[in-house]
Structure 1
Amino acid sequence: MKKFGIISQARMTSTRLPGKVLKLIGGRPLLDYHVARLQASGLPLYLATTTNATDDPLAAFGAAHQLPVWRGPEDDVLARYQQCAAAHALDVIVRVTSDCPLLDGELIAQAVQQYLAADNPRLYLSNVLERTYPRGFDFEVFSRELLEEAFHHATTVSDREHVTPYIHQNRSGRVQFQHVTRPTDRSAYRLTVDTAEDFELIRRLLEEHQADALGAEELIALLEKHPELVAINAHIEQKKE
């Protein structure tokens, strides 16, 4: 049996909203919602943060929640993933980012089943290349083989910081692709937290609509019914990779 694991990258020194992953909503840090949602996938979860003292609170969070934490380079996030995957002997990695507190663990579990059915270590499966889901539901599934290949051959600062460009740009020429999509495009919605406006939307969703109990499709339906919520952060531009 292949060993699957979700690796979530996190750090406290976000440029636009520092400390965002430990900001509180309903008395709980955003990271707590993120972890609980991912644990619904049934997959092991690992937190990949940096060796910086500023990220000691994240390591403490992991210890308090029995969550394995790997600490590695701040800017070479690709190395952080490679080290974490190697340390835990993962065969297949699900990559997510910790600024997505409403990720759907069940959606990820379905994607992993799709990946397993393909039985192809050269496969990159994601919902990010052909975007139909809101930002904030992003995940990528790929083999340790592809991760190691990227680790050894990716050279640019952007490659190392953003982890998967070497893979999803198919620099080796031998990567195959599958895309997880939904029938209607709702990629304009933002359920990721990068700014104060993003945080306000998530706060409203959690405090007023119990969003932590809703799946991806239920959350999308909620946003469709409430354009005033969508408007809170509709003007925010995603940072370029």
Structure 2
Amino acid sequence: MNHVDPEIVKGILCKLILTFLIVSPSIPCYTGGILGAASAGPSLHRKRRCLTYMLDHVLYLLFGFMDVFALLVVAAALFRIPVLKAGPTLVLVAVLASLLSYLNRMVMNWSVFDLLAQTALSALFFVLVLKFRLFWSMIIVSSGLMVFLPLQFTIYVLLTRFDFLPDAIASHNTGFVFALQLLTDASCLLIACALRLGKRGYRFMPQAPHDFQERILYFSPRYEKLTLALAANLINIMFTLYLTLNGWIYFSYAISLIVLFTMLILFDQTDKKR
């Protein structure tokens, strides 16, 4: 499998961080510019507010990175993709997706496009860098999402059910939200480790690099179950976004569980015919 040169990844990350520092919104304690620096300086309250502002945005980027990375790791483990070889690419995708999410939610206020944009970005990197065909890359990314979303819903339900987590937190970047993200990410990584150590995972996916000239009949008996699973995943992702934004969290949770189990059954049937 092709992998990214760590030095290239390091260079790209440095440029991204520099770009982020340039284009990110101005932090309140620096709005005074040169004149502000010449004055007596901000008050203690202003300094604390500035640090809180910075911490919120740094945590958003950090946990955004962890979400995407954990999702991609469990997706790779699900299809026996060597995580160590793909590691630099997964890190790069997670960094880019976190910055993209920050741009969508914190800068442009385009929250509705966030999940779809991150999904498209991740699939694109599997095609361009790891040399998976688009069909397979969409199966990998959407399957990771179909593990991640019901898992996060389950943890959310458990925490709210036992009063560890307030119900109305989904739209706020608070410590409760970060705790929910951390538990979800840790659970994904544990599942990935269990799959890896148990030598589990599906074998039907051809190893990269793929032949992009090969013609695939998506509705042939060999691929029809995978096509059905992919279509169900993509439809569910869009409906999950719509239902969650409209407050129908539990209904969205139920549908996600149904689609997850359906996907696993279809994958299992495909694997047995391999």
Provide TM-score, normalisation by structure 2: 0.28
Whose strand fraction is larger, Structure 1's or Structure 2's? 1
Q: Which protein has the larger Cα radius of gyration, Structure 1 or Structure 2?
A: 2
Provide TM-score, normalisation by structure 1: 0.31
